[in-house]
Amino acid sequence: MFSEKPFIHDHFLLENKFAEALYHDYAKGMPILDYHCHLSPADIAVNRTFNNITEAWIHGDHYKWRAMRALGIDEDYITGNAADRDKFQKWAEAVPFTIRNPLYHWTHLELARYFDRYELLNGESAEMIYHDTTERLNSDNNGCLDLLERMNVEVVCTTDDPVDSLENHKNLAQSNSALKMSMSFRPDRALQIDQPHFADYIETLETASKITVNSFDSLCEALKARMRYFDSNGCKLADHGLNAIYCLPYSAAEVEAAFELGRNRKSVSSTASMKFKSALLQFLAEAYNELGWVQQFHLGALRNNNSRMNALLGADTGWDSIGDFPQAESLSRFLNLLDQKNQLTKTILYNSNPGDNAILATMTGNFNDGSVRGKIQFGSGWWFLDQKDGMTQQLNTLSNMALLSCFIGMITDSRSFLSFPRHEYFRRVLCNILGGEISRGELPQEIPWIGKIVQDICYHNAKEYFNF
């Protein structure tokens, strides 16, 4: 006789009594510090409410879009003009076929945590779930801030271009909201001298900084001005999404010549481009250290692979994959150059290729100099690796080659306000790993001590690391 227990239940993913104790007594109640996400600051600041579950859950979610495309669902029901009710129906019909993809777990966790819906989502249950969840989203106290509060989110750090006015951050800071919304300085467009938008971006940066940018030095001056502005508004982090770290030798003349070409909308060779990026990244990292910021590097994604669909729909619409870029040597050179000058700030390294796990985990030990606990971090499973297997591999590699006890925990890296049960998912995976080792005698039955380490990973380490 099969159990009537719902799929999402109290002990979901917890395989023994030790895992259950670690999760329920130590991990579950810890607040969330989500120090990297792509939520809309405007939506948070105005406490936006969503018209329906599709708007909140499917719009902008390229994880779901990729799955639907794989099932042969027409693009009209994904990013096209189909009605939101019809888009939800197509997603509901797709869900049973996502078995063993993290979307299956995330979908049912999110329905349970935000809407108290514990039945499985499929084509038959879609009608009832759509109307119930939409009704709840349209009721009082279900705006974006309310959704975050329901998940016990204490801090979110959005990802922001240097030219951003930060008006939404300032407006929320002046409100009575208990949520703290910080920002991350993301200057990737200033590095992209080999892209058609570079010259236009420099003009935008000139306007924001009120500095004429007609040389590499003035570019650095303009970026530094924007960093000071971000810092004055509470910024504590910088963030980069790169194939790999740029770290070629360069001369000032070579960098200036490359900038001159890019600024004047002329072609820049691959080598010249790399030297420009190396110089600018070095400048930025030294400036972050001066401000006392944490720098984050998301490495290894191969972006915009499908040129036809990218031209139709733009970036971040589901056409990216894992890349196989060399990481070790350039990353080592970059960190070493900063360390030699005592200008290496706290650093988080993320990888999208699981083959790079050991590279990044061991790299942290090269530059942990005793000045700060966990100064160089091997970041949480990111993008294609933020699922049960990817988290487990990251935690195991970190444990074997660095110190799990210093880890600063999970991020959502998400554009969805319904994604925060991913922190619960991570905590359950973490507690199950530790609980399994306790049950096998590989760790002692020192539940209070191991529970303290769990709480540190879930919350306290990040709070101390970022000085939130």
Categorize the per-residue pLDDT at 386 as very low, low, confident or very high, splitting at 50, 70 and 90: very high
Q: pLDDT tens for residues 96-155?
A: 999 999 999 999 999 999 999 999 999 999 999 999 999 999 988 899 999 999 999 999
The per-residue b/e assignment along 323-350, b for 16 or more CB within 10 angstroms, e otherwise, is bebebeebbbebbebbeeeeebbbbbbb
What average pLDDT does range 340-351 have in this prediction?
A: 98
Does the pTM surpass 0.85? The reply is: yes
* Cβ 193 vs Cβ 258: under 8 Å: yes
Strands 347-351 and 376-378: parallel
Q: pLDDT tens for residues 30-81?
A: 999 999 999 999 999 999 999 999 999 999 999 999 999 999 999 999 999 9
Q: What is the mean pLDDT of the chain?
A: 97
| Predicted confidence (pLDDT) at residue 260 exceeds the cutoff of 50 | yes
* Cβ 49 vs Cβ 137: under 8 Å: yes
* Cβ 196 vs Cβ 267: under 8 Å: no
SS3 label, residue 43: helix
**CA–CA separation, 345 and 288 (whole Å):** 7
The alpha carbon of residue 308 and the mean position of all alpha carbons in its chain are separated, in whole angstroms, by 27
Kindly give the residue spans of alpha helices, DSSP state H, lying in 235-327. Answer: 252-263, 270-291, 307-313
**CA–CA separation, 395 and 393 (whole Å):** 6
**CA–CA separation, 385 and 119 (whole Å):** 27
**CA–CA separation, 122 and 142 (whole Å):** 24
| CA angle 396–402–405, rounded 5-degree value | 80
Higher pLDDT, 92 or 4: 92
Tell which residue, 150, 148, 154, has the closest CA to residue 462: 154
CB burial of residue 146 (10 Å; 0-12, 13-18, 19+): middle
184 strand-pairing partners:
159, 237
**CA–CA separation, 314 and 325 (whole Å):** 23
* Cβ 345 vs Cβ 292: under 8 Å: yes
CA distances from 209 to 106, 170, 204, 225, 249 (A): 41, 18, 9, 6, 29
